[in-house]
Amino acid sequence: MTQSRLDKLTASLRTSSLDAVVLNPGPTLKYLTNLNFHLMERPVVLFIAPGRDPVIVLPELEMPKVDLFPYKVQAFAYGEIPSEWDNAFRSAAQALGLDGKRIGVEPRQMRLLEFRHVKAGAPEADYPDAADILAGLRLRKDKAEVDAMRHAVKIAQDALTATIPLIKIGMTEKELSGELVMQLLRHGSEPEMPFAPIVSGGPNSANPHASPTERKLQAGDLLVVDWGAAYDSYISDLTRTFAVGEVDAEYAKIHKIVQEANAAGRAAAQPGVPCANVDKAAREVIEKSGYGAYFTHRTGHGIGMEGHEDPYMRGDNMQILEPGMAFTVEPGIYLPNRNGVRIEDNVVITEDGADCLSDMPREIKVVG
């Protein structure tokens, strides 16, 4: 599996203007090796150049992982003295004759830590952005990947279903978040979660990227829960919004509008249309209702091994949806300093439409 992924990458490198790519720990490295390397203060990078064995630079204490590689790699290990690390990077670049060449990078993943060592090893190389080629590799999920995502959705839904009866007025956002994480683990999520759940009530729910606080749930709050599970390196990312006791009529109204926008976004998801269509379909519902100014983000993002990846459901994105592309549909309305609503599902494009992996009820539900 990883061999064919590597072959696919080297094939696309051959038709590109790049001589190689260099990867550091993250989803693309995991996708191509099925190994777990962590981002840490000791840099790890893998150089991939067509027609050559990949070359890895890593700390000596990680050497046992080299034997686990699914294909032959050449390894250059360094010891614990940082001032000596550049030597290993220089040897790696020389082994592949990369100095002066075009080495593609993944800007969202690579840190200046790795980059400055890579550059010390190949100072005359160019380092163009290879995000498109690398994201393209993981863009169309195969059946095994979709199955893993479906399972990650099921774990997440089962976990929230088990958590809902435990929600009580007076509970803090942090407490509820901790309970939900326990339920995610109990239902089979991998311990390394895709992200810490967002649990935000009342005014905090009007901040799309809130972190759980010590604020206690109060009657009249909207409660946004944005959570996900990890299974076999693939993740889910869902959101539902609840009413804590009885809520203001306007809050019930915006919940209904967002629910309609979510349905419209999902209905627009099909092969052959641009990503923009999904965004437009959801946004139109909210704009027509007069709340357009309060839907402050794009409608969705790709999902797979990463929480946010290609393709993005933005109004300017004319990228065409193809079978296997997986993404979120998550419109929202956020009334500043008051309350907010978001409803998020995970969708995969099929040959003739789309498969929504999540099916937990979207209607407003009273909790507490």
Binding site for a second copy (CB under 8 A): 36, 38, 40-41, 59-62, 64-65, 80-81, 105-113, 115-116, 129, 174, 177-178, 181-182, 185-186, 189-192, 195-197, 206-209, 211-212, 296-298, 301, 307-308, 314-316, 336
Instruction: Decide whether 61 or 219 has the Cβ nearer to a second copy.
Output: 61
**Least distance from a second copy to the Cβ atom of residue 41, Å:** 5
Task: For residue 70, give the nearest of 126, 3, 14 by alpha carbon.
Answer: 3
Amino acid at 234: Y
Task: For residue 25, give the nearest of 113, 145, 144, 147 by alpha carbon.
Answer: 113
Instruction: Decide whether 299 or 358 has the Cβ nearer to a second copy.
Output: 299
What is the longest distance spanned by two Cα atoms in the chain?
68
**Least distance from a second copy to the Cβ atom of residue 311, Å:** 12
Amino acid at 59: P
Cβ atoms of 219 and 169 closer than 8 Å: yes
Instruction: Decide whether 192 or 359 has the Cβ nearer to a second copy.
Output: 192
H or E segment at 175?
A: helix 173-186
**Least distance from a second copy to the Cβ atom of residue 260, Å:** 21
Give CA separation, 35 vs 67, 68, 70, 333, in Å. 11, 8, 9, 40
Instruction: Decide whether 79 or 272 has the Cβ nearer to a second copy.
Output: 79
**Peptide bond before residue 311 is cis, with ω within 30 degrees of 0:** yes
Instruction: Decide whether 62 or 126 has the Cβ nearer to a second copy.
Output: 62
Instruction: Decide whether 266 or 283 has the Cβ nearer to a second copy.
Output: 283
Task: For residue 345, give the nearest of 261, 287, 234 by alpha carbon.
Answer: 261
**Least distance from a second copy to the Cβ atom of residue 7, Å:** 26
H or E segment at 76?
A: strand 74-78
Instruction: Decide whether 98 or 105 has the Cβ nearer to a second copy.
Output: 105
**Least distance from a second copy to the Cβ atom of residue 37, Å:** 8
Instruction: Decide whether 212 or 265 has the Cβ nearer to a second copy.
Output: 212
- Tracing tokens 């409803």 back to the chain, one arrives at 343
Give CA separation, 214 vs 168, 179, 205, 207, in Å. 14, 14, 14, 16
**Least distance from a second copy to the Cβ atom of residue 187, Å:** 10
Task: For residue 65, give the nearest of 39, 37, 100 by alpha carbon.
Answer: 37
244 Cβ contact list (under 8 Å, min separation 6): 167, 169, 201, 217, 218, 219, 220, 221, 222, 223, 366, 367, 368
**Least distance from a second copy to the Cβ atom of residue 352, Å:** 30
CA distance 231 to 248: 38
**Least distance from a second copy to the Cβ atom of residue 348, Å:** 20
CA distance 200 to 223: 6
